[in-house]
Structure 1
Amino acid sequence: MNKTQRIILAVIAAVAFALIMRGLFALGLHGLYSVMTVTFLLGLPFGVGFLTVYLCKTETIAYSAAAFFIPFIPIFIFFIITLCLKIEGMACWLMIMPIFLIMAGLGGITARHFKLKKWNKNKGFVYVVLLLPFFLAPIEKMIGAIPGTYQAYTEIDIRASKDQIWKNVTRVRAIDQKQDSAAFTRFLGFPRPIKAELDKEAVGGKRKAIFDKGLVFDEVVTAYKPLQSMTFTIHANPYDIPSTTMDKHIVVGGDFFDVLNGTYQLEQVDPHHCKLRLFSTFKLSTTFNFYAGIWASWIMKDIQQNILKVIKERSESADVPIASLHQ
């Protein structure tokens, strides 16, 4: 068997391993396994990288760079298969891809070292690498996720009166797709904001933030100071969100991610210049909040900054009528 044939065999075996591991972890097996664990996040790609390089001819991985990058092939194939079969969503894959590629490369480097040291006659080490995640996962599940709360903070400068700005804060008229500047969340496939409705400008007021693809946030005003601040709780019923809208692992209000509340603050800087702040509190319940928190923060900030830009554009526009609000 020549080098090319061995690489093809190695890639097929690695993809098969990835699919089997993904399937078993998705089954849960009485709650012992889950794809939303550090064990899966690190163990699957490392095993893929190790198996790929282990099955290649030694001359194929003569250089460490080859051992690091060859495992990218089965990772990308696994990526395409799970997307086509709708096992995973694009957003989830884009978030975990950096870790998957790095861990697959490290698995390949480890296997190369293993082969060059002539330890490959000891098959037991291979089994340990491939099967270790199945023994570690139950331990991780016993430890459990430690929920953590985080805050996403955004602000923008607006050259308009507080009256003009506040009118666009409390109620957001329909947002045209051309006004949507949230490139990052659009790239991830998140729903885009459509409008926000408020029944009364006071504590207890009910607000609806409506996004496309059937996503609706039910909000209740918990603190209100006219032309100064508004705080509201945020609730999304994951069972009302169409399954095609968001990946189940990142759906708002689901088992792993939820947005708790939001606050607008308006500060007068000078007679013609204000600063508008929007910050939200969200909760993560995973065993890898250290990584998920980075992505969740980027997503929330992108969504918030998009809304602030819409408010700024409308408030500064000459054709926006001034609300009859008084301080």
Structure 2
Amino acid sequence: MISVARHYKPYLIVSGIGLFFALFSCYVFATSIFDGAGGLLTLGFLVVMPTSLGAVSAHFTPKATSGTWRLFWNPLLTVLLFLSTTLLFHLEDMICVLMILPLFMFTATIGANLYDMWTSKRPPRNQSFALTAFVIAPFLAGTFETWYVAPTDFRRVENTILIQAPTSVVWQHITRVPTISSAELSPSLVIS
């Protein structure tokens, strides 16, 4: 059995709560409820959810912890734990995680700092109300986004090139493409 020092247990609990919230949000946004808005590609999930994740991690981090840990490192580690879990269980691919990582880290830090600003001099009951508002915010934002369906526009583009050659010659070049020589290629980073 893995033994964890007693003073590290609150941080594991914070990470677990944050991970649960993020995975639950991921599940809800992936369901058909938010399909009209774009599912996981809504602002509610991409921006508001990590902001709320930062607030959740700041709320549950022990108050005796340094401000840098509560407001910066803990939200970042919670985001990394969530994204690592999505990779581990094949919920997302590496390219998606790498693209969203900077935004999630930035917004989680913002969320932790906003939560701290709004609750630093308030009683615990008001802190719980603020946390509840943060937790509900991504789902409200996603709901509002379902009201606004992105416009669709279909267009047809055609290009025509007139080739002055008999059909048999054109067909021969289509079925058996001749080898492209290096003289026909322009210089690039990929091809030398």
Aligned AA for 1:132? A
State which of 52, 59, 67 in structure 1 corresponds to 2:64.
59
Match of 1:107 among 103, 107, 111: 111
SS in 1 for 2:46: helix
Matched residue, 1:45:
50
Residue in 2 that maps onto 1:81 = 85
CA contact (8 A) 1:11 1:52 kept: yes
> Do structure 1's residue 6 and structure 2's residue 10 form an aligned pair?
yes
- Per the alignment, residue 90 of structure 1 pairs with 94
Corresponding position: 1:135 with 2:9: no
- CA contact under 8 A between 2:54 and 2:109: conserved in structure 1? yes
Give the number of aligned pairs: 159
Q: Structure 2 counterpart of 1:35, which letter?
A: L
Per the TM alignment, residue 105 of structure 1 is displaced from its structure 2 partner at its CA by 0.5
More helix by percentage? 2
- What RMSD in Å do the two structures reach over aligned CA positions? 2.8
- Aligned residue number for residue 124 of structure 2: 120
Give the alignment's TM-score, normalised by structure 1: 0.44
Q: 1:146 to 1:4 in 2, by over 3 A?
A: farther
Task: Look up the match of 2:185.
Answer: 311
Distance in 1 separating the partners of 2:60 and 2:185: 57
Task: Determine the structure 2 residue equivalent to 1:17.
Answer: 21
Aligned letter for 2:115?
A: A
User: Which ranges in structure 2 are unaligned for 5 or more consecutive residues?
Assistant: 164-183
Q: Which has the higher strand share?
A: 1
1:90-132 deviation line (CA, Å, top 9, x unaligned): 1211221111111100111122224422343322221111012
Gaps of 5+ in 1: 149-219, 227-309, 315-327
Alignment of 1:186-197 (within 5 A): none
Higher RCO, Cα 8 Å, sep 6+? 2
CA distance in 1: counterparts of 2:123 and 2:32, whole angstroms: 34
Deviations 1:132-182 (A, max 9, x none): 22122121111122569xxxxxxxxxxxxxxxxxxxxxxxxxxxxxxxxxx
CA displacement 1:2-48 (0-9 Å, x = unmatched): 65322221111001100011001101227466111011111211111
Residues in 1 aligned to 2:36 and 2:135: alpha-carbon distance in whole angstroms: 17
Separation in structure 1 between the aligned mates of residue 15 and residue 151 of structure 2, nearest angstrom:
36
Note closer, same or farther for the CA distance 1:53–1:311 as it changes in structure 2 (3 Å cut). same
Give percent identity, aligned residues only: 21
For 1:193, the equivalent position in structure 2 comes to: none
Contact 2:45 2:138 (8 Å CA) reproduced: yes
Q: Distance in 2 between matches of 1:147 and 1:120?
A: 47
For 1:96, the aligned partner's letter is I
Q: 2 CA distance for matches of 1:36 and 1:67? A: 26
Q: Of 69, 72, 78, which residue of structure 2 is paired with 1:68?
A: 72
What aligned pairs does 1:165-180 form with structure 2 within 5 A after superposition?
Answer: none
| TM-score, reference length from structure 2 | 0.71
Post-superposition CA distance 1:173-214 (Å, at most 9, x none): xxxxxxxxxxxxxxxxxxxxxxxxxxxxxxxxxxxxxxxxxx
In the alignment, is the contact (CA less than 8 A) between 1:35 and 1:41 conserved in 2?
yes
